[in-house]
Amino acid sequence: MAHDAHAAADTRRGPRPRREVTTAFVVSRVAVLAVAAALLLYAAPPLAADGSWVSLALLCAASAGIAFLYLTRRFVPAKYLIPGTVCLLAFQVFPVLYTVSTAFTNFGDGHRGDKQAAVTAIETGSVRQAPGSPEYALTAAVRDGELVFLLVDPKTKQVQAGSGRGLAPVTGAQVGITGKVLRAPGFTVLKAPEAAARGQEISKLAVPTRGGVIKANGLSRAVEGRASLVYDAACDCVNGENGPWRADGARGYFVNARGDHLAQGWQVNVGFGNFTRVLTDPTISGYFLGVFGWNLVFALASAGGTFVLGMAVALALHHPRMRGTKIYRIALILPYAMPSFAMLLVWRDMFNRDFGLINQLFGTNVDWLGQTGTARAAVILVNLWLGFPYMFLVTTGALQAIPRELTEAAAIDGASPWHGFRKVTLPLLLVALTPLLISSFAFNFNNFNAIQLTSEGGPFPAESPQVGATDLLITYTFRLAFGAGGAQFGFAAAISVFIFALVAVISAVAFRRTRKQEEVYA
Amino acid sequence: MRKRAMGAAHLAALSALAVAVTACGGGEPAAPSAAPTGSSGATAPAAQGGKLVIWADPNRVKALKPFAEQFGTENGVTAEVKEISKDNQQVFLTASQQGSGPDIMVGAHDWIGNLVQNGAIDPVNLTEEQKAAFPEIAMKAVTFNGQVYAAPYAVENIALIRNTDLAPDAPATIEDLVAKGKALKAAGKVKEVLCLPVAQKGDAFHVYPIFASGGGALFGATATGDPDPKKVLVGSADSVKAFDRLKELGEKGEGALKTSITNENYIATFAAKKCAFLISGPWAMGDVKKGGFPYDITPVPSFKGGKPATPFVGVQSFFVAAKGKNKALAQEFVANYVTNKDVAKALYEADPRPPALTAALQEVQAADADAGKFMEAGKNGFPMPAIPEMAAIWEPFGIAEAAVVKGGDAAKSAAAAQKAIDSSLKN
């Protein structure tokens, strides 16, 4: 790629000399084009099958654009910017926009699909077998190219042909012992594989009868059923049992006069409903401050604690007289190298009162995760253990960049080691590490795993089971959005918008302060 | 640490690209009749364009594969059994919504309420004869709003499993059980009185029989006898009494219920002979047998003079996906194939859970007494409520349970749970 950049510079200066074609240049270009082509080939058939022409057109346009960009010699800066921009759009911008738009809907359990899907589900779910009607043995057959059902009444052995027009008796049919029709004059009986291949047609065919319709039930039986709930577009309502059920466009439900609703709903736009619910719901607003306070403590203790611990270890290993630093470094990085999911679960079991390692080791009988204070200390301790190797790594790196002469000069000037560290090393370290500390804070502010896999937010006071002592905003609201009421994606999205705003404000303030600090020390 | 998250994003991007590239390398995946290449896919040879996709959890995939294959061969279709290992219900719902779901889903009957309200499954039409082949409780479990939504294949419930070396006689009451457990503990033979998971957040599923025996209830009943989500009874006077009984058994009382006994350690503790009594289900038997001691399975006993200790009964079922691509085949498989005795028996052999089909259970029982004993223990059980509102019960109930086990006030805990449930159900 570096050669490519050189070539670009040359093009601007001279009268377009023939560009040198290096291996890296060819390989990178082929790689980008291959990925674009692969994505096109992968995504186009399902889009075409679905009939999503707009998306298909967008995909083709994007692919054509990329192909043009990397086949032409011009637009060199764009060649470097496009991959990053595409990733930014796909992995950052799109999820954010999708989350925000979801926050304005009631998307969730009971409201996943559109109204049409809900109507279909309501009608299908209400089909009951017509009382006293026979359980027909079904044989799929073809007459003049049209799919028909050959229906055998198991009691009378009478054979009828059912098509979209209704039932008609069949004479001269030969019925096997299983009740299936073996052959019938004028019909071509479908063998099992042939019938299976036409499965979709078979499930669609409805034979009208006086009391309802006969539909296939699998490939070998058919029953006469009647839908007890039927949608009527004229009144935009569902007629039937306990009805009429009128469509309520604000809630996405069919509602009857008694205020009950049918189980199947559809997705509607609820405007700011989810946001006002976050602000007005007493189970949220009543506990918000407490949870927020502990959340701040947890994030600060995690970020600050890991930093102090990691830096202390890094400083110790940085000392010139330290021996065997490599061994120590490997040992220290281990917690970082192990999968945190597994380690969190191991820690949770170590804190068990009767079976846990910690009580056994110290001979204590503390219900670590069962009391507010100890549970909070425990989750911070676990997070510290998981997080400090990262801080150790970055501090080690930053320390290498600080010339030893500076501390030596301070020492010669009569500064104590503590003074030297406080006035020289630490400020220089902070210039490099403050952005990392801020992002560590933001990460720990929403550190869902650290809580959910250890204390699950508990212990929960018996008087208010909604919120636990170690609940972060994210674990607390996760339970609100996905616990009691099934999955409520719209509500969850609104909550994440709020949490995003909180973290963004805190980080913005912190970054502003950092910039001032950098001006001082730069 | 944002760096780490970015790294993950890049990794995801890379793997997505890798997938895209492999898909490309494998030829254009346009033809829908192309045989699946996934290693987990069981492929029957004669494919004529039809394809049946079944999703199941890891335990059941192996058991289902031969039957799916056989069904595929008989009907000339490709049958594929795919393993879904986590959050099966949510994965199924999301995939169904996007149109990439299976034709048949295997899961527990208490999903039905949520699956129906999301329009994800179709009713299954069983003949009267087929229905009669199942015990009443299994059919009751898969019936929702008067409609049968699944074909049952295994019935699960918890029972009392005891180490007969330590406790030769089955306790007649909970009081007997606790007395025997405490005597063994005092004699130094065991460490715990009873292995029943409570954990910090409670475990409504395992404690329910004892709660029910103490007179507690979750829901009132509708006119048709189904649980009524409008009548939550967790905070009722009877339930408070039941919570009081749990408190008596708890850490400040008899010490039979403890928050340190969790889902992760309760079976292992019993298998290591550290307690004489275990309340668990058929899934525990593998570990219990490895313990290498004689055991017996009996119904969970009730309190002396109390109500019957009814366990929750869960019914493993086959669902027909409403948005499946091949519904006729799926109906055929679920209604007419899975309800076959041989299939039920083979599923049992691959994963020993008592078969739902009465005829299959009788044959299985001859060789394996455990299945019959579990079935016996669940005979008067309470089908786990399938209504979506049940989701609101688990957590507040569990927290109230954990609170009283730790010695908290029963009336306050029950009232708080009732309030939390009511507010999330907007009663």
Per-residue pLDDT tens digits for B354-374? 899 888 888 888 888 888 899
Cβ within 8 Å, pair A460-B264: no
Is the domain of B415 the same as that of B331?
Answer: no
Nearest in space to A147 (alpha carbons), one of A155, A158, A159, A139 = A139
Residue B25 lies in a domain: no
Given an 8 Å threshold on Cβ–Cβ distance, is B117 in contact with A38?
no
Q: Give the gyration radius of chain A's Cα atoms.
A: 35
B27 touches chain A (CB under 8 A): no
- Would you say residue B18 lies in a domain? no
Q: What is the CATH number of the domain that holds B361?
A: 3.40.190.10
B66 belongs to a structural domain: yes
Smallest CA–CA distance from B15 into chain A, residue: A35
pLDDT at B33 over 60: no
Confidence of residue B45 (pLDDT cuts 50, 70, 90): very low
Which pLDDT belongs to residue A67? 87
Residue B140 to chain A, least CA–CA distance (Å)? 17
Residues in contact with A270: Cβ distance below 8 Å, sequence separation at least 6, in sequence order: A104, A105, A106, A250, A490
Tell which of B332, B405, B421, B427 to mutate to test the A interface (max A CBs under 10 Å). Answer: B332
- CB distance B318 to B219 below 8 Å: no
- Of B382, B402, B417, which residue is a domain's last? B382
Q: Is residue B3 part of a domain?
A: no
Indicate if B265 and B198 belong to the same structural domain: yes
**B89-120 pLDDT per residue, tens:** 889 999 988 888 999 999 999 999 999 999 99
Q: Do B405 and B283 reside in the same domain of the chain?
A: yes
pLDDT tens by residue, B193-208: 999 999 889 999 999 9
What is the total residue count of chain A? Answer: 522
Whether B213 and B139 share a structural domain: no
C-beta pairs of A287-294 under 8 Å, 24+ apart in sequence: A287/A464, A287/A466, A287/A467, A287/A476, A290/A467, A291/A467, A291/A471, A291/A472, A291/A473, A291/A476, A292/A473, A292/A502, A294/A376, A294/A469, A294/A470, A294/A471, A294/A472
- Does the distance separating the beta carbons of A125 and B12 come in below 8 Å? no
Q: Give, in order, the Cα–Cα distances in Å from B311 to each of A314, A479, B170, B224.
A: 57, 26, 17, 21
Question: How does residue B346 score in pLDDT terms, banded at 50, 70 and 90?
Answer: confident
pLDDT at residue B426, rounded to an integer: 76
Backbone angles phi, psi at A365, to 5 degrees: -135, 55
Which of A32, A35, A109 to mutate to test binding with chain B, by most B CBs within 10 Å of its CB? A109
Distance CA A109, CA A289 (A): 29
* Cross-chain Cβ contact B1/A349 below 8 Å: no
Note the pLDDT of residue B173. 94
Residues of chain B with C-beta less than 8 angstroms from the C-beta of A193:
46, 48, 50, 75-77
Higher-pLDDT residue of B117, B22? B117
Residue of B10, B28, B331 to mutate, testing the A interface (most A Cβ within 10 Å of its Cβ) = B331
What type of residue sits at position A121? A
Which residues form the domain of B191? 159-310+387-425
Q: Distance between CA A428 and CA A518 in Å, rounded?
A: 9
Q: Which of A139, A258, A463 to mutate to test the interface with B (most CBs of B within 10 A)?
A: A463
The alpha-carbon gap from A58 to the nearest alpha carbon of chain B, in Å, equals 18
Q: Which residue has the higher pLDDT, A192 or B272?
A: B272
**A196 contacts B259? CB cut-off 8 A:** no
| Average pLDDT of span B253-279 | 93
Q: CA-CA distance, A397 to B337, in Å (whole number)? A: 65
Identify the top-confidence range among A472-486, B53-67, B137-151.
B137-151
Q: Are residues B297 and B331 in the same domain?
A: no
User: Quick one: B169 and B207 in the same domain?
Assistant: yes
* B52, containing H or E segment: strand B51-56
Under an 8 A CB cutoff, do A217 and B125 touch? Answer: yes
The pLDDT of residue B310 is 93
User: Does the residue B27 lie in any domain?
Assistant: no
Inter-chain touch B116–A456, beta carbons under 8 Å: no
- Report the distance separating Cα A448 and Cα A457, nearest Å: 10
Q: What confidence category does residue B41 fall into, taking pLDDT thresholds of 50, 70 and 90?
A: very low
Q: Is B122 part of the contact surface with chain A (CB cutoff 8 Å)?
A: yes
Is B402 part of the contact surface with chain A (CB cutoff 8 Å)?
yes
Helix axes A426-445, A489-521, angle to 10 degrees: 170
Residue B32 located in a structural domain = no
Domain assignment present for residue B90? The answer is yes
Q: Flag if A112 and B329 touch (Cβ within 8 Å).
A: no
Residues B120, B323 contacting (CB under 8 angstroms): yes
Q: How far apart are CA B237 and CA B411, in angstroms?
A: 8
* B270 & B328 share domain: no
Highest mean pLDDT among A363-367, B9-13, B156-160: B156-160
How big is the A-B interface in CB pairs under 8 Å? 247
Burial class (CB in 10 A: 0-12, 13-18, 19+), A157: exposed
Interface mutation vs chain A, best among B86, B104, B117, most A CBs within 10 Å: B117
Q: What percent of chain B has pLDDT over 70?
A: 88
**What's the pLDDT score for residue B308?**
92
Do B74 and A192 form a contact (C-beta atoms < 8 A)?
Answer: yes
B392 chain-A contacts, CB cut-off 8 A: 483-485
Nearest one of B134, B130, B128 to B358, comparing CA atoms: B134
Q: Give the distance from residue A312's alpha carbon to the nearest chain B alpha carbon, in angstroms.
A: 19
d(CA A250, CA A105): 10
Instruction: Look up residue B80 and give its amino acid.
Output: E
Fill in the amino acid letter for B320: V
pLDDT of residue A20: 66
How confident is the model at residue B413, as a pLDDT? 93
For B269-307, b where at least 16 C-beta lie within 10 A, e where not — what string?
Answer: bbbebbbbbbbbbbebbeebeebeeebbbbbbbbbeebb
Reported confidence tier of residue B160, pLDDT bands at 50, 70, 90: very high
Cα(A292)–Cα(A471) distance, rounded to whole angstroms? Answer: 9
Q: Which residues of B touch A390 (CB under 8 A)?
A: 1, 4
Antiparallel, parallel or unpaired: β A135-143 and A221-227? antiparallel
The pLDDT score that the predictor gives to residue B25 is: 34
Residues B305 and B359 in one domain: no
Contact between chains at B90 and A367 (C-beta distance less than 8 A): no
Verify whether the Cβ–Cβ distance B21 to A197 is below 8 Å.
no
CB atoms within 10 A of CB B175: 17
Q: How far apart (Å, rounded) are the C-alpha atoms in residues A385 and A340?
A: 10
Please tell me the predicted confidence (pLDDT) of residue A518: 65
- The series of mean pLDDT values per 10 residues for chain A, 522 residues long, is 46 54 81 89 86 88 88 83 88 92 91 89 84 83 87 84 85 79 84 81 85 83 85 87 84 87 90 88 81 93 94 89 85 83 91 90 89 93 92 91 86 86 88 89 91 89 84 88 82 89 87 73 54
Chain A residue with minimum CA distance to B192 = A354
3-state class (DSSP) for residue A158: coil
Sign, CA dihedral A172-A176-A180-A182, equals: negative
Judgement on whether residues B339 and B260 belong to the same structural domain of the protein: no
Q: How many CB atoms lie within 10 A of CB A20?
A: 11
Residue B280 shares a structural domain with residue B191: yes
Same domain, B320 and B375: yes
> Could you tell me if B92 and B58 lie in one domain?
yes
Position B40 scores a pLDDT of 39
Is residue B34 scored above 50 in pLDDT?
no
Distance from CA of A20 to the nearest CA of B (A): 29
Binary contact (A109, B332; C-beta < 8 A): no
Of B3, B74, B326, the CB nearest to A192: B74
Q: Are B54 and B103 in contact (CB under 8 A)?
A: yes
Interface of B with A in 241-280 (CB under 8 A): 258-262, 264-265, 269
- Ordered by where they begin, the domains of chain A are 2-102 (no CATH), 109-126+228-271 (no CATH), 130-227 (2.40.430), 278-521 (1.10.3720.10)
Please give the Cα distance from B207 to B402 (Å, whole number): 11
Distance CA B210, CA B300 (A): 8
Q: Respond yes or no on whether the N-terminal peptide bond of residue A459 is cis (omega within 30° of 0).
A: yes
CA–CA dist A326, A324 (Å, integer): 5
User: Rounded CA gap, B298 and B176, in Å?
Assistant: 14
Cβ burial of A404 (10 Å; 0-12, 13-18, 19+) is exposed
Contact status, residue A144 vs residue A295, Cβ threshold 8 Å:
no
CB-based contacts of A35, cutoff 8 Å, min separation 6: B17, B20, B21
Total domains, chain B: 2
> CA–CA separation, B371 vs A100, rounded Å?
51
pLDDT of B12 higher than 80: no
Please give the pLDDT value at position B242: 95
In a domain, B67, yes or no: yes
Question: In whole angstroms, how large is the CA radius of gyration of chain B?
Answer: 24
Cβ–Cβ under 8 Å, residues A174 and A157? no
Q: Which of B398 and A240 is assigned the larger pLDDT?
A: B398
Query: The whole model's pTM is what?
Result: 0.81
